[in-house]
Copies of this chain bind each other. A is one copy, B any other.
Amino acid sequence: MQKLWQKSSKQRFDRDVEDYTVGEDYLLDRKLVLFDVEGSLAHARMLKKIGILTTSELKKLEKGLAEIASLAHAGKFSIKKSQEDCHTAIEMFLTKKYGEAGKKIHTGRSRNDQILVTLRLYSKAKLREAQKAILGLIQALKFKSKKCRGIPMPGYTHMQRAMPSSVSMWLESFVESLEDDLLLAKAVAKIIDQNPLGSAAGFGENILGLDRKFTSRLLGFARVQKNPMYCALSRGKFEWMVLQALSQIMFDLGKFASDLLLFTTKEFDFFSLPDAFRTGSSIMPQKKNYDVLELMRGNVGIFTGFQYQIQEVIKNLPSGYNRDFQLTKEPYLKALRLFLGTAKIATSVAVNLVAREKSLRAACSKELYATDEVYRLVKKGLSFREAYRKIGLEF
C-alpha cells in the first residue's frame, strides 16, 4: 500500500525499517480516531470558509467523517499497519469513498499539526476525566472521614509512635493534598488550552491564508497557539506537563496505599478491606492479600516511568519536528489509562475501608502523650527545654 509521502508506487521500503518505524502506532491510534475526526472536521470547514473546498466537497467530507466516527464508536474503524497511523487511514477512507474531496482535506495541514491538535483535544478530555475522578475520590475520603470522626490513631514519625492523631486527620491529609493537586491540574489544563492546528509542518503557511481563529472557535480552544515553531516545540512538552501534574496525585495515592499496606499487616491491624478486595495464594491456602494496594504502590513507579520516557525522548532535541516525538504517544496514552484506573481503584478502597477501632485505640499508648505532658509543665511556667528534659528522662 502506498504511503502518504510516497510519490510513485515504485519506491521500495525496507521491511525491517517499516516494522521499526511504524511500531504500534496503528494500534494506539484507535483511541485517537474520534479526536482526529473532530480536528479534521474543523479543518475542512475552515478550508471551505477560505475557498479551498466547495460546499459540496465539504458535505462529502462531513459525511465521510461522520461515517468514520460511527465506525470508530463501534470499534470497527480499522487502521492497517501499512497505513502507519490514523491520519493516513482517515485520508484514505475519504479518498476512496469520496474521491477528489478526500484528496483535498490535507491542504494546508501536515501530519505534524494534525497529531498535535488530535492529542491536544485528547489531553483536554482526559484532564477533565481525571479531575472528575479525583473529585470523586475526595468525596469518598471526606465521607469516610466523617464516619470515622472520633476514632483515635497513633501519629507516627520515623515509623515510631509519636503523637496522638486520628483516622480523620490521616484521611483528610490526603483530601487537602488532592485539593492542591487539582489546582495544579487546572492550571495545566488552562495552559494547554490553545490550538496548534494551522501550524502545518511547524513553520506555518504563507500562501493559502488559513483561518486559525476560526478552527479554534470550532474546536473550543481558548486561544490560538501562535508561533508555529512553538507548536512543534510543545509536542511532548505538554504531554509531560500533564503527567507532571498527575504524578503529584499518583504520589498521594502511592502514599495512601503504602500506609494501608503497613496498617493492614497483622501486626498493626488498624484497617481492613472486604474480601472482594483480597486475593489468595496459589500455594498457601490461608492467605488473604491486598494485591490491589500493592499494585497502587507499584504503579507509582510505572507511571513515573512513562513520564520519564516522554521527558527523555524530547530532551535536547533540535527545534522543529523530529520523528522521536512519535515515541511519546504510547507512554502518554498508557500513563493516562493507568492514572484513571488507579484513581478509580483508590476511590473503591476509600469507600470500602474499615477502621478497626479496637486495635486503633489499643495502639494509642501512653508515650504518645509525652509532649502534652511537656506542654502542661510549660503552662506551669517551666521553659520548654527544661520541661522536655524532665519528661524525657522518664522514657
Q: How many angstroms between the C-alpha atoms of A395 and B286 in the bound complex?
A: 5
Complex contacts, A264 vs chain B, CB 8 Å: 159
Name which residue of chain B comes closest to A15, CB basis.
B276
- Sample of 15 more A-B contacts, CB < 8 Å, known A155-B202, A158-B294, A283-B371: A5-B287, A13-B276, A13-B279, A104-B384, A156-B318, A158-B289, A170-B229, A176-B227, A255-B318, A280-B392, A286-B395, A295-B326, A295-B327, A301-B327, A302-B327
B110 touches A282 (CB 8 A): yes
Complex contacts, A277 vs chain B, CB 8 Å: 14, 17
A322 touches B301 (CB 8 A): no
**Does residue A354 face the partner (Cβ distance < 8 Å to B)?**
no
B180 touches A191 (CB 8 A): yes
**Does residue A151 face the partner (Cβ distance < 8 Å to B)?**
no
Encode A263-286 as 1/0 by CB contact (under 8 A) with B: 011111000000111011111111
> Which of B206, B284, B305 meets A306, CB within 8 Å?
B305
In the assembly, how many copies of this chain are there?
A: 4
Nearest-Cβ distance from residue A388 to partner chain B, whole angstroms: 5
Encode A192-224 as 1/0 by CB contact (under 8 A) with B: 000000001111111110000000000000000
Chain A residues bordering chain B, tally (CB within 8 A)? 172
Nearest-Cβ distance from residue A361 to partner chain B, whole angstroms: 14
A318 touches B159 (CB 8 A): yes
Which stretch of A71-79, A116-124, A128-136, A309-317 is in the interface?
A: A309-317
Encode A30-63 as 1/0 by CB contact (under 8 A) with B: 0000000000000000000000100000000000
Q: Do A378 and B319 form a contact, CB below 8 Å, given A305-B331, A393-B8?
A: no
Q: Do A159 and B265 form a contact, CB below 8 Å, given A251-B315, A285-B374?
A: yes
Q: Which of A1-43 contact B (CB under 8 A)?
A: 3-8, 11-14, 16-17, 19-21, 23
B301 touches A370 (CB 8 A): no
Q: Do A201 and B289 form a contact, CB below 8 Å, given A306-B305, A392-B7?
A: no
**Does residue A144 face the partner (Cβ distance < 8 Å to B)?**
no
Complex contacts, A127 vs chain B, CB 8 Å: none
Q: How many angstroms between the C-alpha atoms of A292 and B108 in the bound complex?
A: 26
Complex contacts, A108 vs chain B, CB 8 Å: 375, 384
A106 touches B267 (CB 8 A): no
**Does residue A126 face the partner (Cβ distance < 8 Å to B)?**
no
A87 touches B282 (CB 8 A): yes
Complex contacts, A142 vs chain B, CB 8 Å: none
> Which of B21, B208, B254 meets A291, CB within 8 Å?
B21
**Does residue A165 face the partner (Cβ distance < 8 Å to B)?**
yes
Q: Which of A325-379 contact B (CB under 8 A)?
A: 325-327, 331, 341-342, 344-345, 348, 363, 365, 367, 370-372, 374-376, 378-379
6 sampled A-B residue pairs with Cβ under 8 A: A161-B266, A163-B202, A170-B229, A172-B227, A267-B268, A285-B395
Nearest-Cβ distance from residue A372 to partner chain B, whole angstroms: 6
Complex contacts, A162 vs chain B, CB 8 Å: 201-203, 281, 284, 287, 320-321
**Does residue A66 face the partner (Cβ distance < 8 Å to B)?**
no
Q: Do A7 and B202 form a contact, CB below 8 Å, given A162-B320, A284-B371?
A: no
**Does residue A93 face the partner (Cβ distance < 8 Å to B)?**
no
Name which residue of chain B comes closest to A291, CB basis.
B323
**Does residue A234 face the partner (Cβ distance < 8 Å to B)?**
yes
Q: How many angstroms between the C-alpha atoms of A158 and B365 in the bound complex?
A: 27
Q: How many angstroms between the C-alpha atoms of A247 and B367 in the bound complex?
A: 39
Nearest-Cβ distance from residue A323 to partner chain B, whole angstroms: 4
Across the A-B interface, the 8 shortest Cβ-Cβ residue pairs: A5-B280, A301-B312, A298-B324, A285-B392, A187-B187, A305-B309, A173-B229, A7-B392
A341 touches B228 (CB 8 A): no
> Which of B104, B172, B233, B375 meets A207, CB within 8 Å?
B375
